[in-house]
């Protein structure tokens, strides 16, 4: 079967199209311009795609490229007989109207079911259209270390007059197609999952984000269970003017110590406006020297930064609530008020029970996980049929208070306990090794009271910045030889040890600014060599100087920056004694160098500006990656070492002299 990764470029008097086979390097290019007119061949190719059920794979194609494809197919008889300049201009005008609709948050001209050619949109599939994850193709190119992240070299309003200009546009388009193909390959398992779901449930989920999968499948099952038609369910919502928190707090929520009871009093006094909850409630308490913050989301608290190790007769316990938010709703029989309660609760519990039965490697396990976790989020989304803000608040507020109960029970019940962290669905606590059975006994008591279940683990070390930024090293586990080799291949940064014929490993977890492994592509991976070096220092005892000397991947020394709205980037270079200015593109990849320039971010309206890297540090733009001998990059290692040691010192609270003392 043939499917095609594709991209279009629409200019005022030129149209360009590139298609590359999804499995091979076979590439087709079409140009519509007075110097080259491939409109007949393009129309023939698109009709062949349609007739043979060949799909198009694109980045944001559903809202742009697929719209143009359908426009061409709908107007093909007229277009093939027109002058190429008129054809290109008609396509350009249509493209601009599509862009304007998107800018105005309007639906595009063609709905997905009106498209003649099947679509896989990796932009929507990865949920990069979500405000919290919004990412352009250029940003994803940067995130996956693509060699060329240059933006379109010719503005769409430019009149194209030469073949050299056409070649430049088409070269740019090929680069976008090849990078989109790489995203497709990275998303292969997700695409296969959506293919299976689409075939199983007869719902087009090929380009669906995880929340949309959850919404569509919950809707599918709920329709079957209630007999209510999908269209009718989709219209349902529960709109509320106020929520009295004391009316939704679970009856078993009780505390002993005054600082914990003050939290309960504060929550009982709240009357919420569900339409304006941002920053409407914040409360902090201090217990055993740990400040813990409460709000309307999750609870967050952590001890002061430092390295906490399981030694001198102490162990570090970690306890997380299994599927915390879904199970709060399931065990307490909660549902959005507009939905049949029994049917909703039965269905929600069914998803949980089914997931427990299925191995984690089974794709259906992942599907049920999506449904369980996304349902809570969708209950606070006005565009969802699950919308009921009271349902959301029941979960988040009782979740915080339930976890605070566990925190108090363990802290008081175990003499010598040292709380380390509390975060949304679990906690970490250092306790005397001889009190482990008591710890588990208290946890069991809490489980019976709340009808929730805890999963326990042990850490050998926590490198703690704060509640959102830490490195956790699990207690060592024995493992079979075949599993040992597999783990080393999949997780090379874990800790491994062999003692004769016995094999051991310790898994590690990094959060926040310490993250570096398998980062989501929408996240900023700037200067990722820094957290990697910090990790190797705290976990393996490798000095930063040694780590940098052994790691020469230029991309790990790079940063990415974005200019939005009225902002732009300017590069200032001194060449032969003269200061030269150069306007840079909206997304810039650079590294810190000995002989570079200064990049400034400037506001085009009011003239405000600031250096991307303050001080004397110089930057080298690296939008097109070049392979060189390491010394030719002229990396300024002092910059990276200073920032590595700054992170280390923030944990150890010791200043670097010649070198830092290990722990």
How would you classify the pairing of strands 243-244 and 290-294?
unpaired
* Cβ atoms within 10 Å, residue 351: 22
The whole-angstrom separation of Cα 368 and Cα 355 is 6
How would you classify the pairing of strands 609-611 and 598-603?
antiparallel
What are the residue ranges of CATH 3.90.1600.10 in the chain?
A: 243-337+388-474
How would you classify the pairing of strands 56-58 and 119-121?
parallel
With a CB cutoff of 8 Å and minimum separation 6, the contacts of 135 are: 128, 143, 521, 522
The pLDDT-based confidence of 278 (bands split at 50, 70, 90) is: confident
What is the model's pLDDT at position 662? 42
pLDDT at 61 over 90: yes
Report the pLDDT averaged over residues 557-581.
93
The whole-angstrom separation of Cα 77 and Cα 43 is 9
The whole-angstrom separation of Cα 121 and Cα 459 is 41
Q: Please tell me the number of Cα atoms within 13 Å of 193 on its side-chain side.
A: 20
What is the model's pLDDT at position 512? 94
Query: CATH fold of 243-337+388-474, please?
Result: Palm domain of DNA polymerase (3.90.1600)
Give 323-348 pLDDT, tens digit per residue: 999 999 999 999 999 999 999 999 99
From start to end of 407-488, where are the E strands?
Answer: 418-423, 426-432, 454-466, 469-474, 477-479
Report the pLDDT averaged over residues 54-65.
97
What is the model's pLDDT at position 322? 94
pLDDT at 596 over 80: yes
CA distances from 617 to 7, 265, 322, 613 (A): 38, 52, 47, 6
C-alpha gyration radius of the chain: 28
Biggest distance spanned by C-alpha atoms of the chain = 87
The DSSP element (H or E) to which 446 belongs, if any, is helix 436-450
The whole-angstrom separation of Cα 631 and Cα 248 is 64
The pLDDT-based confidence of 19 (bands split at 50, 70, 90) is: very high
What is the model's pLDDT at position 364? 85
Report if pTM > 0.85. Answer: yes
What are the residue ranges of CATH 3.30.420 in the chain?
A: 4-201
Give 130-170 pLDDT, tens digit per residue: 999 999 999 999 999 999 999 999 999 999 999 999 999 99
The whole-angstrom separation of Cα 540 and Cα 108 is 53
* Cβ atoms within 10 Å, residue 518: 7
Q: Angle, nearest 10°, between helix axes 163-186 and 188-201?
A: 70
The DSSP element (H or E) to which 230 belongs, if any, is helix 230-234
Report the pLDDT averaged over residues 10-32.
97
What is the model's pLDDT at position 430? 97
Class of domain 4-201: alpha beta
Helices (H) and strands (E) in the chain, counts: 21, 28
Q: Which of 388, 379, 126, 128 is nearest to 243 (CA)?
A: 388
The whole-angstrom separation of Cα 521 and Cα 239 is 36
Give 421-468 pLDDT, tens digit per residue: 999 899 999 999 999 999 999 999 999 999 999 999 999 999 999 999
What is the model's pLDDT at position 655? 60
Give 510-541 pLDDT, tens digit per residue: 999 999 998 999 999 999 999 999 999 999 99
The whole-angstrom separation of Cα 383 and Cα 650 is 43
What is the model's pLDDT at position 575? 82
What is the model's pLDDT at position 660? 46
Contact 386, 215 (CB under 8 A): yes
- Strand pairing partners for 308? 462
With a CB cutoff of 8 Å and minimum separation 6, the contacts of 484 are: 496, 498, 503, 505
What is the model's pLDDT at position 654? 66
Contact 55, 4 (CB under 8 A): yes
Burial of 276 (0-12, 13-18, 19+ CB in 10 A): exposed
Q: Which of 104, 121, 134 is nearest to 69 (CA)?
A: 121
- Strand pairing partners for 571? 582, 599
Could you give the strand order of the β-sheet that contains 4-11, starting from the edge strand earlier in sequence? 36-37, 27-33, 14-21, 4-11, 56-58, 119-121
With a CB cutoff of 8 Å and minimum separation 6, the contacts of 575 are: none
């Amino acid at each position: 079967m043939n499917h095609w990764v594709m991209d279009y470029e629409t200019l005022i008097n030129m149209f360009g199209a590139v298609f590359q086979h999804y499995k091979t390097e076979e590439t087709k290019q079409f140009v519509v311009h007075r110097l080259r007119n491939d409109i007949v061949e393009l129309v023939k190719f698109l009709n062949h795609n349609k007739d043979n059920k060949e799909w198009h794979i694109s980045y944001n194609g559903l809202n742009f490229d697929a719209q143009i494809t359908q426009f061409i197919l709908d107007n093909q008889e007229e277009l093939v007989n027109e002058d190429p300049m008129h054809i290109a201009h008609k396509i350009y005008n249509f493209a601009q109207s599509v862009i304007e609709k998107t800018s105005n948050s309007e639906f595009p001209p063609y709905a997905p079911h009106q498209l003649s050619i099947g679509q896989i949109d990796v932009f929507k599939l990865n949920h990069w259209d979500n405000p919290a994850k919004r990412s352009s193709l250029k940003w994803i190119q940067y995130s996956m270390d693509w060699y060329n992240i240059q933006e379109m070299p010719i503005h769409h309003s430019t009149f194209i007059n030469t073949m050299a200009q056409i070649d430049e546009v088409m070269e740019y388009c090929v680069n976008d197609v090849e990078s989109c193909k790489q995203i497709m390959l990275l998303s292969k398992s997700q695409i296969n999952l959506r293919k299976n779901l689409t075939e199983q449930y007869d719902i087009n989920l090929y380009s669906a984000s995880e929340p949309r999968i959850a919404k569509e499948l919950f809707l599918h099952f709920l329709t079957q269970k209630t007999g209510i038609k999908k269209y009718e369910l989709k219209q349902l919502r529960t709109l509320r003017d106020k929520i009295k928190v004391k009316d939704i707090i679970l009856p078993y929520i009780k505390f002993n110590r005054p600082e914990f009871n003050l939290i309960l009093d504060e929550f009982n006094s709240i009357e919420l406006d569900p339409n304006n909850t941002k920053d409407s409630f914040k409360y902090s308490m201090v217990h055993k020297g740990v400040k813990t913050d409460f709000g309307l989301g999750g609870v967050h608290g952590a001890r002061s930064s430092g390295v906490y190790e399981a030694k001198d007769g102490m162990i570090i316990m970690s306890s997380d609530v299994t599927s915390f938010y879904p199970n709060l709703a399931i065990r307490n029989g909660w549902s959005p008020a507009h939905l049949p309660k029994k049917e909703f609760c039965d269905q929600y519990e069914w998803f949980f029970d089914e997931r427990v039965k299925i191995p984690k490697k089974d794709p259906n396990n992942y599907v049920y996980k999506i449904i369980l976790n996304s349902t809570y989020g969708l209950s606070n989304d006005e565009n969802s049929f699950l919308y009921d803000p009271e349902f959301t608040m029941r979960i988040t507020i009782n979740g915080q208070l339930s976890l605070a109960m566990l925190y108090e029970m363990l802290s008081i019940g175990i003499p010598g306990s040292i709380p380390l962290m509390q975060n949304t669905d679990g906690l970490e606590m250092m306790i005397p090794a001889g009190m482990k059975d008591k710890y588990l006994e208290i946890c069991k008591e809490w489980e019976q009271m709340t009808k929730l279940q805890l999963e326990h683990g042990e850490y050998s070390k926590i490198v703690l910045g704060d509640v959102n930024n830490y490195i956790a090293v699990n207690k060592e586990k024995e493992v079979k030889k075949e599993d040992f080799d597999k783990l080393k291949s999949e997780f090379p940064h874990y800790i491994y040890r062999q003692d004769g014929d016995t094999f051991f490993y310790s898994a590690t977890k990094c959060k926040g600014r310490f993250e570096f492994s398998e980062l989501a592509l929408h996240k900023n991976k700037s200067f990722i060599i820094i957290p990697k070096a910090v990790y190797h220092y705290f976990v393996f005892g490798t000095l930063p100087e040694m780590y940098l000397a052994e790691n020469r991947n230029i991309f790990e020394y790079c940063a990415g920056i974005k200019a939005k709205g009225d902002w732009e980037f300017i590069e200032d270079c001194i060449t032969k004694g003269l200061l030269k200015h150069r306007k840079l593109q909206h997304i810039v990849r650079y590294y810190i160098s000995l002989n570079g320039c200064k990049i400034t971010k400037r506001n085009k309206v009011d003239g405000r500006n600031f250096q991307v890297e303050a001080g004397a540090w110089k930057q080298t733009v690296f939008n097109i990656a070049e392979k060189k001998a390491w010394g030719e990059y002229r990396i300024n290692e002092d910059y990276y070492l200073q920032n590595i040691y700054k992170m280390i010192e923030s944990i150890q609270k010791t200043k670097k002299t010649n070198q830092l003392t290990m722990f």
